A and B are shown apart, each in its own frame.
Chain A
Amino acid sequence: MSVEILVLFVFVLSIFVGFEEISKVPSMLHTPLMSGTNAIHGIILLGGMLVLAAADTPLARTLGFIAVVFGSANVFGGFMVTDRMLQMFKKKKK
Chain B
Amino acid sequence: MSSTLALIFIGVAVLFILGIKFLSSPKTARYGNLLAAAGMVVAFFATIPLMQLHEWNLNCTLMAVGIVIGLVIGAIGAYSVKMTAMPQMVAAFNGLGGGSAALVASLEFLRRSHSLEGVTVSAAVPMLFATLIGSLSFSGSIIAFLKLEGKFERPHTFPGQNFLNGLVLLVILGLCGYLISGQTNSTAFIVMFALALLFGIAMVMPIGGADMPVVISLLNSFTGLAVAGDGFVINNLSMIVAGTLVGSSGTLLTLLMCKAMNRPVTNVLFGAFGSGGGSQAAAGGIAGTVKPIQADEAALLLAYAQRVVIVPGYGMAVAQAQHQVRELSDELGKRGVEVQFAIHPVAGRMPGHMNVLLAEANVPYDQLQEMEAINPSMDRVDVCLVIGANDVVNPAAREEKSSPIYGMPIIEADHAKTVIVMKRSMAKGFAGIENHLFYKDNTRMLFGDAKASLNALVAAVKAN
Residues of A within 8 A of B74 (CB): 72-78, 80
| Bound-state Cα–Cα, A24 to B23, Å | 11
Stretch with Cβ within 8 A of A (4 or more), from B238-246, B269-277, B304-312, B439-447: B238-246
Q: Is the CB of A47 within 8 A of B100?
A: yes
Check: B395 CB closer than 8 A to any chain A CB.
no
Give the distance to chain B from A26, nearest Cβ to Cβ, in Å. 7
Residues B107 and A15 in contact, CB atoms below 8 Å apart = no
Give 17 A-B pairs besides A41-B246, A65-B62 with Cβ atoms closer than 8 angstroms: A11-B244, A16-B248, A19-B248, A29-B23, A30-B257, A30-B351, A31-B353, A32-B23, A33-B249, A33-B253, A34-B90, A36-B29, A36-B36, A39-B93, A63-B106, A73-B70, A77-B77
Within 8 A of A (CB), among B29-67: 29-30, 32-34, 36-37, 39-40, 43-44, 47, 50-53, 58-60, 62-63, 65-67
Within 21-62 of A, Cβ neighbours of B (below 8 Å) are at 21-55, 60-61
- Say whether, besides A15-B247, A27-B260, A41-B220, A36 and B106 are in contact (CB < 8 Å): no
When distances are taken between beta carbons in the complex, the residues of chain A under 8 Å from B69 are 69, 72-73
Give the interface size bracket for A toward B: 35 or more
The answer to whether A35 touches B236, judged by C-beta atoms less than 8 angstroms apart, is no
- Does the CB pair B356–A88 fall under 8 Å? yes
With a cutoff of 8 Å between Cβ atoms, the chain A residues found around residue B70 in the complex are 45, 68-76
* Residues of A bordering B, CB below 8 Å: 4, 7, 10-11, 14-19, 21-55, 60-61, 63-93
Please state if B66 and A69 are interface contacts (CB–CB under 8 Å): yes
Given A19-B249, A21-B17, A69-B70, A28 contacting B75 (CB threshold 8 A): no
What 4 pairs between A and B have smallest CB-CB spacing?
A72-B70, A77-B74, A18-B248, A30-B351
Q: How far is the CA of A4 from the CA of B210 in the complex (A)?
A: 42
Quote the shortest CB–CB distance from B213 to chain A (angstroms): 8
Partner-binding segment picked from B168-176, B223-231, B284-292, B414-422: B223-231
Of chain A, the residue at the smallest CB distance from B48 is: A49
**Docked-complex contact B47 and A49, CB < 8 angstroms:** yes
> Are B40 and A75 in contact, CB atoms less than 8 angstroms apart?
yes
A41 to B234 alpha-carbon distance, docked (Å): 15
Would A18 and B352 count as touching, CB distance under 8 A?
A: no
**B237 at the A/B interface (Cβ < 8 Å)?**
yes
Q: Are B104 and A44 in contact (CB under 8 A)?
A: yes
What is the interface size of chain B, counting residues whose CB is below 8 A from a CB of the partner? Answer: 115
User: Is B359 a contact partner of A88 (Cβ separation < 8 A)?
Assistant: yes
A19 to B228 CA separation, bound complex (whole angstroms): 16
B454 within 8 A of A: no
What are 7 A-B contacts with C-beta separation under 8 Å?
A11-B232, A28-B26, A28-B343, A29-B25, A44-B97, A45-B70, A89-B355
CB distance from A81 to the nearest CB of B (A): 4
Whether, in the assembled complex, B89 has its beta carbon less than 8 Å from a beta carbon of chain A, the answer is: yes
Question: Could you say which of B77, B79, B87, B355 has the most chain A C-beta atoms within 10 Å of its C-beta?
Answer: B355
Which of A24, A29, A35 is most buried by chain B, counting CB atoms within 10 A of its CB? Answer: A35
Looking across the interface, which residue of chain B has its beta carbon closest to that of A30?
A: B351
Interface assignment of B433: CB less than 8 Å from any CB of chain A? no
Q: With A16-B248, A37-B249 as given contacts, are A28 and B368 in contact (CB-CB < 8 Å)?
A: yes
Residues of B within 8 A of A51 (CB): 103-104, 107-108, 111, 234
Assess the B17–A72 pair: CB atoms within 8 A. no
**Do A83 and B33 have beta carbons less than 8 Å apart?**
yes
Shortest distance from the beta carbon of B237 to any chain A beta carbon, whole Å: 6
Tell me, in angstroms, the Cα distance from A58 to B115 when the chains sit together.
17
C-alpha gap A81/B216 in the complex (Å) = 16
- Nearest A residue to B222 via CB reads A41
A15 vs B101: C-alpha distance in the bound complex, in angstroms?
A: 19
Chain A hits for B32, CB < 8 A: 36
The answer on a CB contact under 8 Å between B100 and A53 is no
Q: Which residues of B sit under 8 angstroms from A72, Cβ to Cβ?
A: 66-71, 73-74
